[in-house]
Structure 1
């Protein structure tokens, strides 16, 4: 992701296309979660540390990248009074920031989450991870890089997706062990609470 540019190449690049280097900002995202099992709902929380970077400023029409670098997080060992066996089929969403145009995206790194994929549709980037992650285990989602073109003068803000359990930004399927019934599938939905802007880029 880092390129060494010669002085000649740097001078040859149009200045309007350059954004100052971005510094990663560590953020702890708190998700409110709700799992449903056997006709009952169970509240839970998930804390996700993440380093987010975007340039401080960019010219209108210039290129910029937003990088969401997930750090290790933990899966709860229980859901309500039930033992959580594993979590699978995770999805994580991040909107393409307003006042920007999507160009391309990529994934890198990650561990303990199985096969991953990233798609962008309707202004939302969706990361999927097949899992499984064992209950009580740790995992790290891959880093998401969104390559964008800046819009009109103003600001571009990075935030996460999700406003409620009905409009979640993070979903997963849990498998819990229930006495006498064995393993039971438990869908879970989460949204960031609170959900402030994580980065702000000034467009000039």
Structure 2
């Protein structure tokens, strides 16, 4: 997992000629979390997915970027009205254990949104496998698949999200382009709460993320 904070924050601290304050460290630690990402379909090759994230902390909003590799498969073509089977397998990952002098205790309340693509109809979905994430469930809610984890992901722990299998029914014509959910921090496709242990106690930071860029991950041609 790669996590990077934007230049303005580090630049601001350097300009002031100060070491990072405890409050700033709390904010940075609370913003650290996982973003294991699913896509509905993509060629059978590992692809890094980049999310922009914003955590709400005691000193305000803190930005971060998160990456996760996934491998997904889906047919290149499908007959009109035919079924499209999409399988997504996220790569193993690791929750960060520390940032600076502070400990990331856990990540919880994980929810990931993936919209059902245009020119297709949702049929079914399931999850299988995975480790270290508790019980994973996927539901279809108003044209969007929502993946939720019941467990908490401890800081420093290895984990692997379950494989997601989705069945779609193709429309009459056109293409089925799969994209991740989320367009902004106000319309996130990934949400979770990061809990950091600090000298002031445990700090919860609700975090919202969206993919940027968000290209079509696969294109299945109908016909």
Tell whether the structures are fold-level matches, with TM greater than 0.5: yes
Q: Which residue of 2 aligns with 1:17?
A: none
Deviation, structure 1 residue 80: 8.0
Distance 1:81 1:165, change over 3 A: farther
> Are positions 1:116 and 2:108 aligned together?
no
Q: Which residue of 2 aligns with 1:168?
A: 188
In structure 1, distance between residues paired with 2:52 and 2:99: 14
User: What is the count of residue pairs matched by the alignment?
Assistant: 182
Contact 1:79 1:176 in 2 (8 A): no
Deviation, structure 1 residue 200: 0.8
CA deviations on 1:136-155 (whole Å, 9 max, x unpaired) are 33322111111111002111
* Counterpart pick for 2:67 among 47, 59, 79: 47
Deviates more, 1:75-84 or 1:188-197: 75-84
Contact 1:52 1:198 in 2 (8 A): no
Contact 2:43 2:71 in 1 (8 A): no
Contact 1:42 1:79 in 2 (8 A): no
Contact 1:42 1:80 in 2 (8 A): no
Deviates more, 1:132-141 or 1:60-69: 132-141
- Where in structure 2 are there 5+ consecutive unaligned residues? 1-41
Contact 1:52 1:199 in 2 (8 A): no
Q: Which residue of 2 aligns with 1:3?
A: none
Contact 1:77 1:136 in 2 (8 A): yes
Distance 1:81 1:171, change over 3 A: farther
Q: Which residue of 1 aligns with 2:11?
A: none
Q: Which residue of 2 aligns with 1:193?
A: 212
| Runs of 4+ more than 6 Å apart | none
Q: Which residue of 1 aligns with 2:48?
A: 28
Per the alignment, in what secondary structure is the counterpart of residue 131 of structure 2? Answer: coil
CA deviations on 1:179-203 (whole Å, 9 max, x unpaired) are 2x21121111111111111111010
In structure 2, distance between residues paired with 1:176 and 1:203: 48
Alignment of 1:114-193 (within 5 A): 114-179=134-199, 181-193=200-212
Deviation, structure 1 residue 127: 0.4
- Alpha-carbon RMSD across the aligned residues, in angstroms, is 1.8
Going by fraction, where is helix more abundant, 1 or 2? 2
Contact 2:194 2:206 in 1 (8 A): yes
